[in-house]
């Protein structure tokens, strides 16, 4: 805890004046700002908090949390790159519905194999901002006849890889969403992440993402509380929640971790209810963005509840 107090918490208090400065106003500025934090904060949760604190809108706070969550999930992502996670096909992330297929097309004399990937992903967050695309695919069937899921790390500009703009969402328009198409993209063995693509990446990501987006949201709310002189107990609550989220985000979630993340969500909801009336004194433009974008926080709420319920059942309670 002493390390925490002298780390990100001390930085937030010391950088209080930045709450009165203009934040990124474009996705390009956000990306530059977020990547500049890499030399300060190695822990993804800390980087999420700092990225949220430097943002003057929920869109860029969310982007900071999302990018940090992927860095927590895949530590090998280079420090100077932004990644996107590409899983959804036909509105589903179930392994059986993943149709993007990875097939061996060449086996070298040195034992190295080259594969080709063909398929489509219909929802990619940070489609324009990302440099790398962590893509869930299937490669054959396992011994039970189920699709064997792998995650491959693709790079923008690879032959056969196409990223196209997707539909506009009613919130966070400052960050992009799009689609991905792969037409016989050549994938070397070095681009395949170790482990099971579903159990090691797809399934835990939602909880990892929740925690890091919470961290970034708390950083943003702390900025607002400083800028508009909210009562001192509000930043105190926020700092306490940041400490809790940081602790939970330090490891990949097991069942108790999923339940604890659910508890953090309840505390976040209480904080948002408590601070609701205080937004009346916030600059009208910033308040309008907040009201427009707040529905983002309710996305996938039913899936979140299902994960928590399943975790309780696994715990035998």
pLDDT tens string 45-100: 999 999 999 999 999 999 999 999 999 999 999 999 999 999 999 999 999 999 99
Which pLDDT tens digit goes with each residue over 186-221? 999 999 999 999 999 999 999 999 999 999 999 999
> 12, 219 in Cβ contact below 8 A?
yes
pLDDT at 183 over 60: yes
Q: What torsion, rounded to 10 degrees, do the Cα atoms 160, 161, 167, 171 define?
A: 180
Sign of torsion, CA 260 10 235 23?
negative
Measured CA to CA in angstroms, residue 231 lies from 143, 228, 239 at distances of: 59, 9, 14
More confident residue, 186 or 4: 186
pLDDT score for 254: 83
Q: What is the mean pLDDT of residues 109-117?
A: 79
pLDDT at 111 over 70: no
Query: How many Å apart are CA 18 and CA 188, to the nearest integer?
Result: 44
pLDDT at 162 over 90: yes
Q: Which two tokens stand for residue 70?
A: 């992927």
> 66, 212 in Cβ contact below 8 A?
yes
pLDDT score for 251: 82
pLDDT at 256 over 50: yes
Domain ranges of the chain: 2-74+201-314, 83-192
pLDDT at 108 over 70: no
Q: Which two tokens stand for residue 146?
A: 């189920």
Query: How many Å apart are CA 163 and CA 304, to the nearest integer?
Result: 28
User: How deeply is 196 buried, as exposed, middle or buried, from its count of CB atoms within 10 A (0-12, 13-18, 19+)?
Assistant: middle
Mean pLDDT of the chain: 93
pLDDT score for 176: 95
Which pLDDT tens digit goes with each residue over 12-31? 999 999 999 999 999 999 99
Q: What torsion, rounded to 10 degrees, do the Cα atoms 137, 89, 259, 1 define?
A: 60
pLDDT at 314 over 90: no
Residue 289 neighbours by CB under 8 Å, 6+ apart: 57, 58, 59
Measured CA to CA in angstroms, residue 30 lies from 118, 130, 165, 184 at distances of: 32, 12, 19, 33
pLDDT score for 1: 44
- Confidence bin at 3 (pLDDT 50/70/90): low
Read out DSSP for the chain?
A: -HHHIIIIIHHHHHTGGGGGS----SHHHHHHHHHGGGGT--SHHHHHHHHHHT-SSHHHHHHHHHHHHHHHH-TTS-TT--EEEE--BTTB--GGG---EEEEEEE-TTS-EEEEEEEEEEEEETTTT-SEEEEEEEEEE-TTS-EEEEEEEEETT-TTEEEEE-PPPSS-TTS-EEEEEEEEEEEEGGGBPSS-TIIIIIHHHHHHHHHHHHHHHHHHHHHHHHHTT--THHHHHHHHHHHHHHHHTTS---HHHHHHHHHHHHHHHHHHHHHGGGGGGS-HHHHHHHHHHGGGGGTTHHHHHHHHHHHHHHTT-
Residue 186 neighbours by CB under 8 Å, 6+ apart: 105, 114, 115, 116, 117, 158, 159, 160
- Confidence bin at 2 (pLDDT 50/70/90): very low
Under CATH, to which class is 83-192 assigned? Answer: mainly beta
Pairing of strands 101-107, 161-165: unpaired
pLDDT score for 110: 64
Percent of the chain with pLDDT over 90: 84
- Confidence bin at 6 (pLDDT 50/70/90): low
């Amino acid at each position: 805890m002493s390390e925490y107090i002298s780390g990100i918490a001390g930085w937030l208090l010391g950088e209080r004046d930045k709450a009165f400065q203009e934040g990124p106003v474009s996705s390009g500025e956000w990306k530059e700002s977020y990547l500049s934090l890499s030399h300060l904060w190695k822990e993804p949760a800390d980087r999420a908090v700092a990225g949220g604190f430097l943002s003057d809108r929920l869109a860029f706070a969310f982007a900071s949390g999302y990018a940090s969550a992927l860095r927590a999930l895949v530590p090998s992502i280079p420090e100077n790159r932004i990644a996107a996670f590409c899983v959804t096909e036909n509105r589903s992330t179930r392994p059986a519905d993943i149709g993007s297929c990875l097939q061996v097309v060449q086996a070298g004399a040195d034992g190295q194999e080259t594969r080709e990937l063909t398929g489509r992903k219909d929802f990619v967050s940070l489609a324009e901002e990302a440099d790398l695309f962590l893509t869930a695919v299937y490669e054959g069937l396992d011994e039970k006849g189920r699709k064997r899921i792998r995650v491959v790390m693709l790079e923008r500009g690879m032959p056969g890889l196409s990223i196209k703009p997707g539909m506009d969402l009613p919130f966070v328009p400052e960050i992009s969403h799009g689609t991905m198409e792969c037409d016989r993209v050549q994938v070397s063995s070095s681009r395949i992440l170790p482990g099971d693509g579903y159990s090691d990446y797809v399934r835990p990501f939602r909880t990892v993402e929740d925690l890091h987006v919470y961290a970034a949201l708390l950083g943003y709310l702390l900025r607002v509380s400083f800028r508009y002189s909210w009562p001192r107990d509000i930043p105190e609550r926020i700092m306490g929640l940041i400490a809790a989220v940081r602790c939970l985000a330090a490891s990949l979630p097991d069942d108790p971790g999923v339940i604890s993340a659910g508890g953090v969500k309840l505390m976040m909801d209480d904080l948002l209810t408590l601070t609701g009336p205080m937004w009346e004194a916030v600059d009208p433009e910033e308040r309008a963005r907040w009201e427009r974008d707040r529905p983002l926080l309710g996305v996938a709420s039913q899936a979140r509840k299902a994960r928590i319920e399943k975790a309780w059942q696994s715990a035998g309670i």
